[in-house]
C-alpha cells in the first residue's frame, strides 16, 4: 500500500509547498499506477462535495492500520472528476473509511487489476446502510 500509515484515528488536510492545500488545485497530470503481480489499484469516484476529504483504506480485519488518499479534482474525458486513487494495494479484501466511519467493507483488490467504486451518486446519510 502507498501512503502514510496511521495507527491512530484523526483527519487532517495535506498542504502543498508554500502552505496551500494540495486538493485546492486541479490535478491535470496523468496518474501512473504501480500494479502487477499481487499489487492492484483502487479508484474511488466521488462528487465535488468530497473534494479534499481523506478516504482511508485498511485490510479486512485490520481496521486500526490504515493509509489514506485525498479526493482530488482530476479530468476524465474533458470533464472534472473527483477521485481518490490508491495504488500498490496488495490483493485482498479491504474496508474504506471516511470521517472515521466504515464507508464500505469487502472491497476486493485483485493483483494486476484496477478496481473502481462509484460514490458519486450516494450521500453521506446513506453510507453504511
Q: pTM score > 0.85 for this model?
A: no
Place of cell 464500505: 104
pLDDT tens figures, 45-70: 999 999 999 999 999 999 999 999 99
Q: How far apart are the first and last CA of the chain?
A: 27
pLDDT surpasses 60 at 10: no
Helix (H), strand (E), coil (C) string for 20-32: CEHHHCCCCCCCC
pLDDT tens figures, 66-98: 999 999 998 888 888 999 999 999 999 999 999
Under CATH, what is the fold of the domain 5-126?
A: Immunoglobulin-like (2.60.40)
Delimit the domains of the chain by residue range: 5-126
pLDDT surpasses 70 at 110: yes
Place of cell 479534499: 52
Long-range contact list for 60-65, CB < 8 A, 24+ apart? 60/92, 60/93, 60/94, 60/95, 60/105, 60/106, 63/95, 63/102, 64/7, 64/9, 65/5, 65/7
Amino acid at each position: 500500500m502507498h501512503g502514510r500509515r496511521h495507527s491512530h484515528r484523526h483527519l487532517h488536510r495535506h498542504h502543498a509547498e508554500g502552505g496551500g492545500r494540495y486538493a485546492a488545485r486541479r490535478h491535470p497530470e496523468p496518474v501512473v499506477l504501480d500494479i502487477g503481480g499481487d499489487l492492484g489499484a483502487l479508484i474511488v469516484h466521488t462528487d465535488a462535495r468530497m473534494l479534499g476529504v481523506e478516504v482511508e483504506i485498511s485490510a479486512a480485519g485490520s481496521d486500526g492500520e490504515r493509509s489514506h488518499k485525498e479526493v482530488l479534482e482530476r479530468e476524465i474525458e474533458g470533464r472534472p472528476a473527483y477521485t481518490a486513487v490508491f495504488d500498490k494495494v496488495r490483493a485482498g479484501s479491504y474496508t474504506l473509511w471516511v470521517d472515521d466511519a466504515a464507508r464500505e467493507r469487502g472491497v476486493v483488490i485483485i493483483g494486476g487489476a484496477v478496481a473502481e467504486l462509484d460514490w458519486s451518486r450516494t450521500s453521506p446519510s446513506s453510507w453504511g446502510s
